[in-house]
Structure 1
Amino acid sequence: MRLGKVYLVGAGVGKIAYLTVRGHQLLTQAEVLIYDALVESDLLTLVPETCLKLNVGKRGGLPSTDQRTINQLLVAYCLQGKQVVRLKSGDPLIFGRVNPEIEALQQANCPYELVPGVSSALAAPLFAGIPLTDKNLSRCFAVVSGHEPDLLDWQGLSKLDTLVILMAGKTLGEIVAKLQEQGRSHSEPIAIIRHGGSSQQQVWISTLGDIVDQIAGVALSPAIMVIGEVVNLRMIDASSRPLDGQTVLVTRAAEQSSQFTLMLQQEGAKVIEMPALEILPPSSWQELDTAISQLSSFDWLILTSANGVKFFFERLYHLGHDVRALGGIKLAVVGKKTDSVLKNYGLKADFIPPNFVADSLVETFPESLTNKKVLFPRVETGGRDLLVQELQKQSAQVIEVPAYQSGCPSKIDPEVWQALQQKTVNIITFASSKTVQNFYQLIKQELEANYLEAIPAILERVQIASIGPQTSKTCYELLGRVDIEATEYTLEGLTDALIKKQLIL
């Protein structure tokens, strides 16, 4: 049997760009990957598709894998002849709990190799623009764990120029009190850097006297604290992006890729996608099939959503037709996204209302609708009827046919629920009233009887962003407020609105 080996690799601060060359090489060759919770998902894309990936992360207050089990996994896969990568955040020998794992490997005669990584203790201050040393203000610094403050020599630590403290999210108040008891000034600068070096990095700058009140209620894991006059030397990176440090929850349809996510990421945001819609075929194809068989009798085909376009053309092709069947029909679409999807089928809309909303379609329609026969494939239930009513007021003959259904997922995504509970989400975006309704339903379902009091608490520090007036109306009805509304009712417009809001803050 081939000899296995375990590589204890430091993942650094998370981004592939800051991984060591050796670490990158080993990940691309791994047969088994055993990784921590703080390792960013981007690194997991480096391993082969055949690699077995095991998440053994330890997070306070959440279910986690005990150290004995981790040791057993490392030994077992090594003895099977596997190339095992044990991926640990930062550097494996700096607060990495690696000693028990090495002891287990040594006892089992398993070969291993240590691969260094960039510790967050050094990298996070750098990413925040804070120098740990300065010829005048800081000739030394110490790195300590704040997990158990009572075990530290605060009399000695208080005499050092600069302190870097890890794992102190829950003990900040105690640490501040101990430093002040030893004579550190209330006005001494402190910086807290959460998720240093990642797309969701956040930095708080304050003083020992004010910091506890300033971050009250904020989940500070994982975070690095820097205490000392060097904090006042902070240099702001001119290349920073407007949404750096913001975690945006994007409500979307399940299984649909999100161009919106890419736009937000390009502006620096960390994006969590929440499936809030399930898009399905209609309960019956009969009405749509009948309309397709009579296409030549229609004057206009109106499409108000990307899903409407997709399901209409899929059914058209299924019935043995192609786009030539639309030769005598004019096409009207609402929204840039709908128009973009239509172009994928080689067609160009004859009319797009200027405000990108259905309500403006009738107001700006390019010709009289009197006696015009209009085909309107739409969502089966839950859609707004105003467009149909306005078309009929203009003496149009409107044939509505169900083209798809939109429903609510049965349960909220666990990652989303955890992020909301831990208050790591800064902004929630809604691109339709339906996503607002389903978001509310899913949160209500989790909170059960206490939802009326608990929903405002869950959303207390979160900005609610809407794509336009109709979506905002539903936000006010169910969530009580809207903090950001796009002036152009498109995803590009919503992205611009988020950017403008952050530039003001």
Structure 2
Amino acid sequence: MTSGKVYLMGAGPGNLDYLTLKGYQVLSIADVLIYDDLVDPQLLQLVPSECIQLYMGKRGGSPSTPQDIINLLLVDFCLQGKQVVRLKGGDPFIFGRANPEIESLVASNCDYEVIPGISSALAAPLLAGIPLTDKNLSRCFVVLSGHDPDSLDWEAIALIDTIVILMGGRSLEAIINHLQDKGRSPTTPIAIIRDCARPQQQIWSGTLETIVDQVAEISLSPTVIVIGDVVTLRQMSSSSSLPLSGKTVLVTRSAEQSSKFSDLLQQQGATVIEMPALEITPPSSWEKLDQAIANLGEFDWLILTSANGVNYFFERLGDRGKDARSLAGVKIAVVGKKTAETLKQQGVLADYIPPDFVADSLIDHFPEELKGKKILFPRVETGGREVLVKELGGQGAKVIEVPAYQSGCPQQINPQAWQALQEKMIDIITFASSKTVQNFYYLLQQALTSNSENSPQGLLEKVCIASIGPQTSKTCYEALGRVDIEAQEYTLEGLTDALIQWVNHS
């Protein structure tokens, strides 16, 4: 039997981007993943599909799995010959309860390895633009837990230039009282960083005298507190000339498609929260597409109107033992730059791309007479627009529609996005298709009903609604009552440019 091993591993401060390379490699071989709170859900996608995933989070004031049970699980899986990853937020040796786990592993002769992670004690101040050391303002700093403030030596702590406190949100007032009792001035700067390194990160700055009122009735978990004169350096360190700096954008696309748009927005300084509003899946049956693929030589044109249509068509083409050479006698028309780029990745160039990147433009500018032409149109199974088929048929073409994929609505709203909407953290919501608007509205209604809140329009009253083009805008008006931004060029790049123009003129 293969020897088992346990990896006590730090996940970093809360974002996949800050996982170490060693951590990435270990997750890829995991048989069992036992993970804590504050771990980026994207990390869970890095383990093999057959990996056993067990959530063992511990949050103050909430029920949690006893440490003894976790210790037993680690030992048991290891003795079964499994590669076990014990994934902890931050670094496993900074308030990570690693010692009792190591003791249990050693007592049972289990092999283990500790893999460091970036602690939020270091990352949160940095990402907030606060240097923990400075030759004039901070010669040293201390990191401590605020879980039980009364047990700490505040007389000694108060003398240290910079104080970093983890798990101190619930004890903020007690911490401030202790420091002032031991001589720290009420005007001492303080910063509170919640959800460090995540898209919903928030920062409050003030003084020991003012901060409690600033964050009254706000949940401060998870949070990192920084106290000291270096907090005054934050504006100098974090100022940015990027056009979308300070704006939080909610991206409503399918999970498979959101990354590129998020990257574009982040490059312009935006904080991005992704809310999957589409789930892309295979069609209910491949029969019609398979039949069309078997008779590709009969068609004059292949029309592709989405990256999903391209990907699913060519994937199925390969499954049927064919490749792009089967399209030798077929001309290809695509709608949109993204669709054309996706087609190019398959090693195929489009014969025709309409100038305005929309289906209506394809009909208006089609390069040859359509009468008598036979056209293959792989498309979404349900819910797509019918105008293209109707207009092509009206000009004498015979259009064969075949389902190539299906787009559905997720079962519930993404919790992170819902929290951000409730807490009025969102400045802009972007929509890149009518379906994302419809699904977003449905998910929002569901969440509002279960939480007895106001209408979707009320919740979005101060949020800018941005659309990629006319058809999406029409659906925005129908569902949400308004559109504030519409891209001039109907692409993700065009939508990004439209957001920048709106920010510059608002």
Match of 1:276 in 2: 278
Residue 35 of structure 1 aligns to which amino acid in structure 2? Y
CA gap of 1:464–1:56, structure 2 versus 1, over 3 A, is farther
Q: Does the aligned pair in 2 maintain the 1:140–1:162 contact within 8 Å?
A: yes
- Which residue is equivalent to 2:168? 168
Measured against aligned partners, the alpha-carbon deviations of 1:92-131 in whole angstroms (never above 9, x if no partner) come to: 3432234543565576676767666553323432343323
Aligned to 2:402: 403
Contact persistence 1:37–1:57 (CA under 8 A)? yes
Pair 1:488–1:143, CA change in 2 (3 A): same
1:436 aligned residue: 437
Q: Would you say the 8 A contact 1:134–1:230 is kept in 2? A: yes
Report the residue type matching 2:128 in the other structure.
A
TM-score by length of 1: 0.73
CA RMSD of aligned residues (A): 5.2
Please, which runs of 5 or more residues in structure 1 have no aligned partner?
A: none
Query: Is the contact between residue 191 and residue 206 of structure 2 (CA under 8 Å) also seen in structure 1?
Result: yes
> Do the aligned residues in 2 keep the contact of 1:465 with 1:485 (CA within 8 Å)?
yes
Residue 192 of structure 1: SS of its match in structure 2? strand
SS in 1 for 2:68: helix
Match of 2:137 in 1: 137
Q: Distance in 1 between matches of 2:7 and 2:15?
A: 19
Distance in 1 (alpha carbons) for counterparts of 2:340 and 2:207: 53
Q: Deviations over 1:115-163 (max 9, x none)?
A: 6655332343234332334454345544333335565566775565433
- Whether the 8 Å CA contact 2:137–2:161 is kept in 1: the answer is yes
Q: SS at 1:70's partner residue?
A: helix
Task: For residue 165 of structure 1, report the CA deviation from its aligned partner.
Answer: 1.8
Give the secondary-structure state (helix, strand or coil) at the position aligned to 2:361. helix
Q: d(CA) in 1 for partners of 2:78 and 2:344?
A: 53
Counterpart amino acid of residue 415 in structure 2: W
* Inter-CA distance 494–137: structure 2 relative to 1 (3 Å threshold): same
* Code of the aligned partner of 1:72: L
Distance apart, 1:396 and its partner CA: 1.4
Cα 1:315–1:106 change in 2 (3 A) is: closer
CA gap 1:172/1:432 in 2 versus in 1, 3 angstroms: farther
Partner of 1:487: 488
Describe the SS at the equivalent of 2:276. Answer: strand
Q: Secondary structure at the match of 2:411?
A: coil
Alpha-carbon offset, residue 433 of structure 1: 0.4
Task: Report the alpha carbon displacement of residue 434 of structure 1 after superposing the two structures with TM.
Answer: 0.9
Rounded to whole Å, the distance in 2 between the matches of 1:438 and 1:238 is 36
- Judge conservation of contact 2:283–2:381 (CA < 8 Å) in 1: no
2:28 and 2:315 map into 1 onto residues whose CA distance is 40
Query: CA separation in 2, counterparts of 1:294 and 1:47?
Result: 39
The change in CA–CA distance for 1:479 and 1:182 in structure 2 (over 3 A counts) is farther
Cα deviation, 1:388-436, whole Å, max 9, x if unaligned, reads 56667xx6125454322644246137xx235523669856543210122
Distance in 1 between the 2:322 and 2:116 partners? 61
Does the 8 Å contact 2:290/2:320 carry over to 1?
Answer: no
**8 Å contact kept, 2:298–2:374:** no
Amino acid aligned to 2:58: K
Distance in 2 of aligned mates of 1:172 and 1:386: 60
The within-5 A match list for 1:348-359 is 348-359=349-360
Alignment of 1:358-377 (within 5 A): 358-366=359-367, 373=373, 375=375, 377=377
Matches within 5 A, 1:337-348: 337-343=338-344, 347-348=348-349
Q: Counterpart of 1:143 in 2: which secondary structure?
A: strand
Q: Which residue of 1 aligns with 2:475?
A: 474
Deviates more, 1:138-147 or 1:352-361: 138-147
The 3 A distance-change label for structure 1 pair 37 and 459 is farther
Residues 278 and 410 in structure 2, CA contact (< 8 A), matched pair in contact too: no
CA contact (8 A) 1:245 1:270 kept: no
Q: How far is 1:356 from its partner?
A: 1.0
Rounded to whole Å, the distance in 2 between the matches of 1:173 and 1:481 is: 43
Aligned partner of 2:418 in structure 1 is: 420
- Structure 1 residues 498 and 54: CA distance shift in structure 2, 3 A: farther
The residue matched to 2:192 in structure 1 has which SS?
strand
Shift of 1:334: 1.6
Counterparts of 1:462 and 1:121, CA distance in 2: 33
Q: State the alpha-carbon separation in 2 of the partners of residues 318 and 93 from structure 1.
A: 49
- For the residue of structure 2 that corresponds to 1:163, the secondary structure is strand
C-alpha contact 2:299 2:375 (8 A) present in aligned 1? no
TM-score (norm 2): 0.73
Structure 2 Cα separation of the partners of residues 230 and 178 of structure 1: 20
Q: Distance in 2 between matches of 1:204 and 1:151?
A: 26
Deviates more, 1:249-258 or 1:117-126: 249-258
Equivalents in 2 of 1:274, 1:28: separation in Å? 25
Structure 2 gap segments, 5+ residues each:
none
SS in 1 for 2:168: coil
CA 1:306–1:11: 2 relative to 1, 3 Å: closer
- Tell whether the 8 Å contact from 1:202 to 1:245 is kept in structure 2 after alignment: no
**How far apart are residue 339 of structure 1 and its match?**
2.2
* 2:143 match: secondary structure: strand
Deviation at 1:486, TM superposition (A): 3.2
The letter for the 2-side match of 1:470 is Q
Q: Which moved more, 1:107-116 or 1:345-354?
A: 107-116
In the other structure, the counterpart of 2:96 is 96
Deviations 1:37-93 (A, max 9, x none): 334467778878887654423245777533232122133335556665544333434
- The count of residues paired between Structure 1 and Structure 2 equals 499
* 8 Å CA contact retained: 1:4, 1:84: yes
